[in-house]
Each structure stands twice: as C-alpha cells, then as structure tokens.
Amino acid sequence: MHEFKYKNNQLYCENILVGKLAKTFGTPLYVYSYHTLIDHYLKLKSAFSEINPLICYSVKANSNLSILKALIAKGAGLDIVSGGELFRAQKAACPAQRIVYASVGKTDKEISAAIGRGILFFNVESLAELKNINRIAKGLNKITRVAIRINPDVEAKTHKYISTGKITNKFGIDLDSAYKVLLLRAKFSNLNICGLHIHIGSQITQSAPFVEAIKKVSNFIQRLKSKGIVLEYLNIGGGLGIIYDHEAPQTAEIYANEIIPLLKKTGLKIIMEPGRFIVGNAGILVVKVLYIKHTLKKKFIIVDGGMNDLIRPALYSAYHNIWPLAKIAKTEKADVVGPICESGDFLAKERLIAKVKEGDYLAVMSAGAYGFSMSSNYNSRLRAAEVMVIKNKALVIRKRESAQDLVRNEVMVNNLTKL
C-alpha cells in the first residue's frame, strides 16, 4: 500500500494535493511519502521479527540524506557500494556497525576509508579483492571483517540487466572457489572472514529463486562446519519486487514464512539488504505537459521530465503507471516522451492514458527507487527537486539545481589559440 490516492478526483500524497506541490515547487519534481517509506520498512521488520535481522537499506535505490536519516532513526542499517555512499552514511549518522559494503570494484582509497570508519564488514566479490583488503588492513594495522559473496548460479526470473546471481554475471564467487578460499582463510592475517553474502537480483516477485539460493548456501554452510569453519553472519541481500503494473509480488509475510525456517537452520545472524521494496512505491515523479503532438501514426504527450530524470523506461523498458493529478475519465493511446534529444527518451509507449491537455500535470508512479539516484545532467538539464510529505507538511529534501551547479566544477581554459 502507498499514500498516493485520489480524493474528490484529485491526487494526494498523504494529506497534501500533489497539484499544489507541483505549483509550489515546480516540475520535474520527486515527491516522497514518509509514511509509505517507514511502513514498508516496518513491514519487513515485523515479518522477520522472529529472527531479528539487521535490515540494511540499499542506499543505491535512493540515497537522499533525509530518506537515509528517516530509516536509520527506525533502526535500519545501510548497504553501501561506494565511497560516496559511505560519506552519505556518515552524514546521516549511521552507526558504523550497521554498515555493510558491497561492490565488485572497491578502490584502495574506498577500502581504507571504510576500514577507518569501522564498518560491520565488506561483502567481498573476488579472491583478488580479498587479498587487497587484507593488504590494506595490514598497512593500517587493523583487523577487518569480511563476508564472501557467493554466486549461487540461480535464475532470478527478472530483467537480465538486474539479475546478479547467475555464474555468467560479474558478481560473487562460485561455491567451489569460495570453499577453497575459506579453507585457506588463516593466510589472510588481517581479515576476519565471518560471513557469507548472496544477492541474486532485483525486482524478483517469486519466492522460488530466493529459496533455491538460500538452500544452496545453507548446504554450503554445513559443508564448511564439517571442516571446522564456523561463521557468524549470513547476508541474504535484497531483491524483493514491488507492484509497477499488474505484478503480484509476494508480501513480506509470505516471503518470511518461506525462508525463516531455512535461515533458522543455519544458526547465523541474518542481514537483509532491501531497497526497492522500501522506497519504490514511496515516491513519484511529477511532470508537466508541455505540448500535445500528433503525427501521421502517433500521438505524443511531451512533458518536461525525461530520461535524465527517470532512466528506467529507456534502460530496462521498465513500466511505470502514469496518473493525471486530476482524474480524467477519457483515455487515448499515446507515447509520453520527454525533452531529451534521444529517441529512447520516453516514459511510456503506446499507452492508454488520460486525455490531458497542455499545462496539465502527470504523476509517474512507483518512482521512488532508482529514479533520482540514476538521474543525470544529460543535455545540461537541471536535476529535479525532491520533497518529502509527512501528513500535511511538505519538506524540501533537495533543492532544484541551478545553472551554476552545472558548471561549478568545470575549469574554462582561456586563450586556447595562443597555446
């Protein structure tokens, strides 16, 4: 459930008219519902209360500091994948022991900073990375904890670009290689190899892939125990799907009922890394209709938000419902497109959509995850403002960029002809 609903034919976010927000703050505009965000986090926490996991919100889904702060205040940790996200975690005052650090390409500088911060552990993606973290920790005279990311070779049944658990993907270490590494863990003098990590993909709507992956890892844990290798943590990643269109994803309760018995058998402390499940339906992108264009074969609704604001449709052919801010009974087939100079700049294609006119506003639904966090300044466009609604209050949590922001780090070389 989410807090974006029609009342008297007008779209509201909690207790505020979305149209009022669009007129007050301008468009394109990301709008988030605080109560939807927190409700989805607490649903997971409640469903898994029996095993009391550390729920580390996946920062990459939406890294706004206010969103991080809101979740941290409710007990969440953070799953980070870069030095920049570590900086955000620090700014949001996340306790270091609630931070886990993934990514296949951590740099020396990033590793050093995370060791210095005292994070809970790194999710290690390769033997080469394991050796490098050990080297850096030794140079810092530190012992740092790591978990080995296992690639369980499981088909996640999601878009190929967001499937991460097949052996053909760049992520993780296969079971046999991981076994050999763990047998030699005493050689890594400055590492405490304390856990295993899996993450098989994103927007997974069925429980079967998760069950298969956890069973494989559970069997692997028993194999390790037989060799006297005892671990402390099992990080089961994230990947829970949400409703974008007509999907019927499992609820937190159903997911928990399926996997808690398997997790209990491991005897390990459990960590989860949800992102989309928490924030996806907590946000929308509001855009304004600039022009209605008719061609010989199509109708185009041209809006002021494009692929630089929300790239998912262009990148993944992702589906987002598009609602008018004022309910309109009549519909017609159209493409909703942005102002970017690319044919791939669209928010919807061949869609039955409300018969809007120039100056109307549209809400691109389920845009809270991988919306702003994947946005860019392509075509030198200013990135959107972000607003969080809490009941009847609207708080700006990111100001709209200015033209000066576009060039603030650039250095213009003068007198080039004289060089």
Residues 200, 165: contact at Cβ < 8 Å? yes
For the chain, give percent helix, strand, coil, nearest 5. 35, 25, 40
Q: Measured at the alpha carbon of residue 93, what is the angle toward residues 3 and 47, in degrees to the nearest 5?
A: 45
- SS3 state of residue 35: helix
Under DSSP, the state recorded for 309 is T
**Cβ-proximal residues to 377 (8 Å cutoff; 6+ apart), any chain:** 308, 383, 401, 406
Cis peptide before 339 (omega within 30 of 0): no
Token pair 């886990």: residue = 100
Instruction: Name beta bridge partners: 294.
Output: 299
- Does residue 56 have an active-site annotation? no
Using left for φ > 0, alpha for ψ between -120 and 50, and beta otherwise, residue 267 falls in left
Question: How does strand 361-364 pair with strand 283-294?
Answer: antiparallel
Catalytic residue among 13, 56, 194, 341: 341
Using left for φ > 0, alpha for ψ between -120 and 50, and beta otherwise, residue 206 falls in beta
Catalytically active residues are: 341
